[in-house]
A and B are shown apart, each in its own frame.
Chain A
């Protein structure tokens, strides 16, 4: 039973990372109705920038600067690249996202090389004991950051006029323009914010594994799953989706081996391979039963 609780808790922590990445995806979806498949690789690149900065300055300053630079990268990408395909069919956007994926992966690899870089742990200190379960300090803070970011996003989209204008731009660009919303700037803002959140995710993931150009590949994949699970337009949903994916992965990783040997159908050489399949299967099941995700609003078209 202890193993069970430990696995759940550690799944919540991993899931928090997926949740933060999912927040970035939701941010872009909320403001442009598009998926950015390059999100993870851009996050990795900005994490490398942070790594370079932190060679010359304290962590906190490097962190903030990297977030600001990431915002700039996102805004410039929207203006320079995304805007070229914004009126084109959805598939163009998908292709551009894949293009960004490849481009930023290559840029990271060409500048920093494939070898792992050590990225600083922001939260130092011993593990924390919560009700008999010990968790790493970094994981605990990670969860806190995910909760905080999702609360901030929620409040931003719901209560501020800029957040409302961003949502309006996504829902009906012309309609928003007629309300006096400068929708071009809103799109830049949406991409800037999403890229900034991606940078935060990258800087939090890097110390858990190691910083390499491919670091975010699976994180993005599960972040994407978390966003879809949560409903794509819900900030709290993104984090909850992330936690569900994280916990499922962990439990499957531990118990699939037991299950298979109990059923006497042979043995499994690497149970971790199954956890990803099951996590993805779960998403398909949720989407089949509830297409708008767990927290998404119903999409009702009124013509």
Chain B
């Protein structure tokens, strides 16, 4: 992975001046960003900056109050998430939303809901190959998995939907450093081998900047800085706020 090299500007996702609110509470005040095909883009920022909200708007969980969301050349603002999953836009949300009472395999089968049955069998075998621990625990209730295993399940499940754009919300949250490294190896592999485009939200910027081609920093619902990881590392205020 050659971090820091900008990919060719073939844009898969473009947000243009997106505003969003929860009831009366304004969460986004004009967010604009581009995600180029085949790249990993990191969206950084403190707690409450609007990172998750941005992902929610993209995946259709929250309709934007103003502005446009363009995915693969089409305006998608306000479309239902289930509809967008069929277009390959897959969101691993905050808190992972694993179905704890379902078995590991049932969770994975749900991930493949939009796919044809014949394709699913092969895709499931591939995910089991990439995540042997999920195969080992396939009959267990998902709630019994450790945090890291649950994150793997969430990512593996998303892969079964054959994502073209994968939205990952804080994949490292609550995980031990060693496990975080493992998860990031997986993210690298997804980007490299599968060629999926990834928009990654993180509070801990260090790991995210290692895999990202480009990064944006969100503060109080606005993008304040953007650039390559090298540029961000060179930015004094970014270093002070987000990098240890």
A residues touching B (Cβ–Cβ < 8 Å)?
Answer: 161, 164-165, 167-168, 171-172, 174-183, 297, 299-300, 302
Q: CA of A302 to CA of B109 in the docked complex: distance in angstroms?
A: 21
Which B residues, 107 to 161, have Cβ-Cβ distances below 8 Å to chain A?
109-114, 117, 143, 157, 161
Complex Cα gap A183–B114 (Å): 13
Would you call A297 and B82 a contact (CB within 8 A)? no
B:156-188 near A, CB below 8 Å: 157, 161
Chain B residues near A182 (CB, 8 Å)?
80, 82-83
Known: A168-B102, A297-B101. A178 touches B81 (CB 8 A): yes
B110 contacts A171, CB within 8 Å? no
Kindly identify which residue among A161, A172, A177 contacts B99, using a CB–CB cutoff of 8 Å: A172
Q: A179: which of B61, B83, B113, B143 is its contact (CB, 8 Å)?
A: B113
Q: Is B86 an interface residue (CB 8 A)?
A: yes
Contact of B161 among A164, A177, A179 (CB under 8 A): A179
Give the nearest-CB partner of B83 in chain A.
Answer: A182
Given A168-B99, A302-B100: A181 and B80 within 8 A (CB)? no
Contacts of A175 in B (CB 8 A): 93, 97, 99
Q: Which residues of B (82-96) have their CB < 8 Å from a CB of A?
A: 82-83, 85-86, 90-91, 93
6 A–B pairs (Cβ distance < 8 Å), ordered by A = A165-B110, A168-B102, A177-B80, A180-B161, A181-B82, A183-B82
Query: A182–B99 Cα gap in the complex (Å)?
Result: 17
Q: Would you call B106 an interface residue if the criterion is a C-beta within 8 Å of the partner chain's C-beta atoms?
A: yes
Interface assignment of B59: CB less than 8 Å from any CB of chain A: yes
Given A175-B99, A178-B91, A180-B113, also A164-B85 (CB < 8 A): no
Q: A178-B59, A180-B86, A182-B80 are in contact. Are A172 and B97 (CB under 8 A)?
A: yes
Contact yes or no, A179 B111, CB < 8 A: yes
Q: A176 CA to B81 CA in the complex, in Å?
A: 9
Shortest CB-to-CB span from B103 to chain A, Å, is: 10
* Range, interface on chain B: 20 to 34
The 6 closest A-B pairs by CB, nearest first: A180-B85, A180-B114, A175-B97, A177-B81, A182-B82, A179-B110
Extra pairs beyond A164-B102, A180-B81 (17, CB < 8 Å) = A161-B109, A161-B110, A168-B110, A171-B99, A172-B97, A175-B93, A175-B99, A177-B82, A178-B59, A178-B82, A179-B85, A179-B114, A179-B161, A180-B85, A183-B82, A299-B101, A300-B101
In whole Å, how far is B62's beta carbon from the nearest beta carbon of chain A? 11
Q: Which residue on B lies nearest to A184, using beta carbons?
A: B80
In the complex, chain A residues whose CB is within 8 Å of the CB of B86: 180
User: For the complex, what is the distance from the CA of A167 to the CA of B112, rounded to whole Å?
Assistant: 15
In angstroms, how far is the closest chain A Cβ from the Cβ of B83? 8
The verdict on A178 contacting B100 (CB below 8 Å), with A161-B113, A164-B110, A300-B143 known, is no
Given the complex, which residues of B lie within 8 Å of A181, measured CB to CB?
Answer: 82, 110, 113
For B101, what are the chain A residues with a Cβ–Cβ distance below 8 Å?
171, 297, 299-300
Q: Which residues of B contact A179 (CB under 8 A)?
A: 82, 85, 110-111, 113-114, 157, 161
Complexed CA–CA distance, A299 and B157 (Å): 23
Tell me, rounded to whole Å, the shortest Cβ–Cβ distance linking B156 to chain A.
Answer: 13
Whether B110 contacts A176 by the Cβ 8 Å rule is yes
Chain B residue with the shortest CB-CB distance to A177: B81
In the complex, the chain B residue whose C-beta lies closest to that of A162 is B113
Cβ contacts under 8 Å, B83 to chain A: 182
Give A161 to B121 CA distance when docked, in angstroms: 13
Minimal Cβ-Cβ distance residue in B for A179: B110
How many Å lie between the Cα of A164 and that of B91 in the bound state?
20
User: Residue among B83, B93, B97, B114 with the most chain A CB within 10 A?
Assistant: B97
Q: Which residues from chain B contact A167 at a C-beta distance below 8 Å? A: 102
Q: Is A174 within 8 A of B97, CB to CB? A: yes
Output the nearest chain A residue to B87 by Cβ-Cβ distance.
A180
Please give, as numbers and ranges, the residues of chain A lying within 8 Å of B102 by CB-CB distance. 164, 167-168, 171
B82 touches A302 (CB 8 A): no
A175 to B90, CA, bound (A): 12
Complex Cα distance, B157 from A180, in Å, reads 12
CA distance A297 to B93 in the complex (A): 26
B99 → A minimal CB distance (Å): 6
B61 and A178 form a contact (CB under 8 A): yes
Contacts of B161 in A (CB 8 A): 179-180
For residue B140, give the distance in angstroms from its CB to the closest CB of chain A. Answer: 13
Chain B: minimal CB distance from A202 (Å): 32
Question: What is the CA–CA distance of A10 and B106 in the complex, to the nearest angstrom?
Answer: 39
Closest-CB distance, B42 to chain A (whole angstroms)? 21
- B157 surroundings in chain A (CB, below 8 A): 179
- Give the nearest-CB partner of A160 in chain B: B109
Q: Assess A164 versus B106: contact at CB under 8 Å? Given A178-B93, A179-B161.
A: yes
The distance in angstroms between the C-alpha atoms of A177 and B101, with both chains bound, is 17
Q: Is the CB of A178 within 8 A of B85?
A: yes
